[in-house]
């Protein structure tokens, strides 16, 4: 770009559903987009799901056209394994430094054949699979991940951890795509606007301890359950307990973390109900009880989904709180019986539906950008301004980076952020 020329490029941070939508629209409008994603694959949290509520649509089929469109768009420069490391300037004239970690695989020569990670001697728990499956030190998160290009995890690759001259992956690759001479790269971008679409994660282990997670083998998180059901997951879609048995009874516990976080994430009821459909599909005989507090099924179509779940045998049980304990391979869910005592529900499997919290890394980027965050760590939206704008001019927020929201809401926010960006300075 020529010095003094007005910036029109846009930086989008996070390639989940919101970041992808915004990038595609901005590119359609003629803008050049730098889409920075911290992992090796795009699509975000939706790619963990096999199906999405309320139409029980195949999630992969839903997002893969968007992913392909991103990869094939000449105006979108995707930076995977990327992170923003510096920001200066103001609306219309930001200078951003973006670091791309070396993945040690040349994306042009790699065809994604998987030979390298099948050969790799390292086997470690796969984080994308919620550690229910394994991956190599050179890997893609799951089958079907896009871009279908593995990367070398330097925290586990023997070359980096032990200084060994291991070249197994390099030898396995007939295209010469594995390239250990790659270096981390840092580049400077000149952008007019920045969209924060850094997404969410689900409440994690220490805060789930009081629900027996980590201590009782039958207790799973929602994302673990998603991966168990996923046809490209660690069990290729078989719903099994950690000991390999199929559960005959299950309890889905809503509102996990709602009190601690002091907010309702708005989507847990729906995805919990979805789990009843998952059970019905794979284990039609299983008894599945939803322990909920308030049914939060807002909008024109969600309540019908709840009705359908009940018609399919999903049981609903309202309770203000639960206590979970384990014994002899069973999980006992205790809840108040309404008369001062307690009742027990013994099940094989408990699925916890935890609150949405900001994704790891949100804090760091927010700090770089000098963006305010709320007590829970979400980015704060500007009051009484155009939708999806942050208090800092030229910086926009879409999707769960700004608070829990469903896919529909995240997409709408992304599209609204695009409106803000395209009219910025008008």
Partner 1 sequence: MDKQIGVFVCECGPNIAGNVEIDMLLEAAASMKGVALAERHKLLCSPDGQKFLAEKIAEHGLTRVVVAACSPKQHGPTFMGVCERAGLNPYLMQMANIREQCAWIIEDKEEATRKALRHLRAATARVAHHAPLEKLEIECNPDVLIIGGGVAGMQAALLLASGDREVYIIERSDSLGGAAVQFEKVFLAMRSAAEMIAERAARIKANPHIHVLTGCEPQEVVGFFGNFIITVGRPEAEPQQIRAGAVVVATGFELLAPEALAPYGYGEVEDVLTSLEFERMNASGKIVLKNGQAPKSVAILHCIGREERRYCSAVCCLYSMKLARYLKDKVPGAAVTEFYSDLCIPGRWQQGFYRQTAEAGVEFVRASGARAIEEGGRPAVKYVEEAGKENSRTFDMVILSPAMVAPHDAGQVAQMLGVEIGQSGFYAEEHPKLAPVSTSLEGVYVAGCAQGPKGISESAVQAGAAAGKILSSLVPGRKLETEAKTSVISALLCQGCQTCLKVCVYSAIRYDEAKDVCVVNEVLCKGCGNCAAACPSGAARVKHFTPRQIGREVAEILR
As measured in angstroms, the least distance from the Cβ of 407 to partner 1 is 4
As measured in angstroms, the least distance from the Cβ of 240 to partner 1 is 25
Contact 189, 1 (CB under 8 A): no
246 near partner 1, judged by CB under 8 A = no
As measured in angstroms, the least distance from the Cβ of 143 to partner 1 is 11
Bridge pairing between strands 249-256 and 287-292: parallel
Structural tokens at position 223: 């994302």
Structural tokens at position 103: 């993945």
Residue 24 or 349 having the CB closest to partner 1? 24
Tell which phi-psi region holds residue 142, choosing left (phi > 0), alpha (psi between -120 and 50) or beta: beta
Return the number of other C-beta atoms located less than 10 Å from residue 174's C-beta: 10
Structural tokens at position 375: 């007590």
Q: Which of these segments, 87-95, 152-160, 189-197, 290-298, binds partner 1 (CB under 8 A)?
A: 290-298
Q: Which of 303, 310, 325, 344 binds partner 1 (CB under 8 A)?
A: 303
As measured in angstroms, the least distance from the Cβ of 422 to partner 1 is 4
Cα 384 from Cα 388, distance rounded (Å): 11
423 near partner 1, judged by CB under 8 A = yes
1-40 binders of partner 1 (CB under 8 A)? 17, 21, 25-26, 28-30
Size of the site for partner 1 (CB under 8 A): 73
3-state secondary structure of 229: helix
Q: How many residues does the chain have?
A: 426
Q: Which of these segments, 86-94, 158-166, 238-246, 417-425, binds partner 1 (CB under 8 A)?
A: 417-425
Site string (55-94) toward partner 1, x via CB under 8 A: x-x----x---x-x---x----------------------
Residue 242 or 304 having the CB closest to partner 1? 304
Please report the DSSP string for 32-94 in residue order: -EEEE-SSSSSSGGGGG-SEETTTTEEHHHHHHHHHHHHHH-TTEEEETTEEEEEEEEETTEE
174 near partner 1, judged by CB under 8 A = yes
Q: Which of 118, 294, 346, 367 binds partner 1 (CB under 8 A)?
A: 294
| Residue that is written with structure tokens 């992304």 in the block | 414
368 near partner 1, judged by CB under 8 A = no
Select from 346, 370, 364, 415 the least CA-distant residue to 36.
364
Contact 17, 44 (CB under 8 A): yes
Q: Which of 39, 265, 272, 362 binds partner 1 (CB under 8 A)?
A: 265
Residue 60 or 332 having the CB closest to partner 1? 60
Q: Which of these segments, 53-61, 89-97, 325-333, 340-348, binds partner 1 (CB under 8 A)?
A: 53-61
Structural tokens at position 266: 């708005």
Q: Which residues contact 61 (CB under 8 A, 6 or more apart)?
A: none
384 near partner 1, judged by CB under 8 A = yes
175 near partner 1, judged by CB under 8 A = yes
109 near partner 1, judged by CB under 8 A = yes
198 near partner 1, judged by CB under 8 A = no
């Amino acid at each position: 770009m020529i010095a003094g020329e007005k910036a029109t490029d846009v930086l989008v941070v996070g390639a989940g559903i919101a970041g992808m939508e915004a990038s595609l629209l901005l590119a359609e409008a003629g803008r050049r987009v730098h889409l920075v994603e911290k992992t090796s694959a795009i699509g975000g949290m939706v790619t963990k799901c096999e199906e999405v509520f309320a139409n029980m649509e195949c999630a992969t089929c839903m997002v893969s056209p968007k992913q392909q469109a991103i990869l094939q768009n000449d105006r979108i420069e995707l930076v995977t394994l990327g992170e923003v490391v510096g920001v200066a300037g103001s609306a219309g004239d930001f200078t951003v430094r973006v670091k791309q970690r070396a993945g040690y695989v040349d994306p042009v020569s790699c065809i994604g054949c998987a030979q390298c990670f099948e050969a790799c001697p390292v086997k470690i728990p796969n984080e994308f699979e919620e550690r229910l499956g394994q991956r190599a030190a050179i890997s893609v998160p799951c089958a079907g991940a896009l871009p279908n290009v593995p990367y070398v995890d330097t925290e586990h690759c023997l070359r980096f951890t032990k200084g060994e001259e291991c070249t197994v992956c390099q030898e396995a690759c007939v295209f010469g795509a594995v390239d250990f001479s790659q270096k981390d790269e840092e580049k400077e971008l000149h952008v007019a606007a920045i969209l924060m679409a850094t997404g969410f994660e689900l409440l994690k282990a220490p805060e789930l301890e009081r629900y027996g997670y980590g201590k009782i083998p039958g207790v799973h998180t929602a994302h673990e359950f998603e991966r168990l059901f996923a046809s490209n997951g660690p069990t290729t879609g078989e719903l099994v307990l950690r000991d390999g048995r199929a559960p005959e009874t299950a309890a889905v516990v809503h509102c996990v973390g709602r009190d601690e976080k002091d907010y309702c994430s708005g989507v847990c009821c729906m995805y919990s109900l979805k789990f009843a459909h998952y059970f019905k599909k794979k284990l039609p005989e299983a008894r599945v009880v939803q322990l909920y507090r308030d049914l939060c099924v807002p909008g024109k179509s969600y309540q019908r989904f709840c009705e359908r779940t009940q018609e399919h045998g999903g049981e609903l049980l309202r309770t203000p709180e639960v206590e979970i304990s384990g014994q002899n391979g069973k999980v006992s869910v205790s809840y108040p019986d309404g008369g001062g005592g307690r009742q027990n529900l013994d099940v094989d499997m408990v699925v916890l539906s935890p609150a949405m919290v900001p994704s790891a890394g949100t804090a760091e980027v927010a700090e770089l950008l000098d963006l305010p965050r709320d007590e829970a760590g979400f980015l704060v939206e500007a009051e009484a301004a155009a939708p999806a704008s942050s208090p800092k001019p030229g910086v926009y927020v879409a999707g769960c980076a700004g608070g829990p929201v469903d896919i529909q809401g995240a997409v709408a926010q992304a599209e609204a952020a695009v409106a803000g960006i395209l009219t910025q300075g008008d």
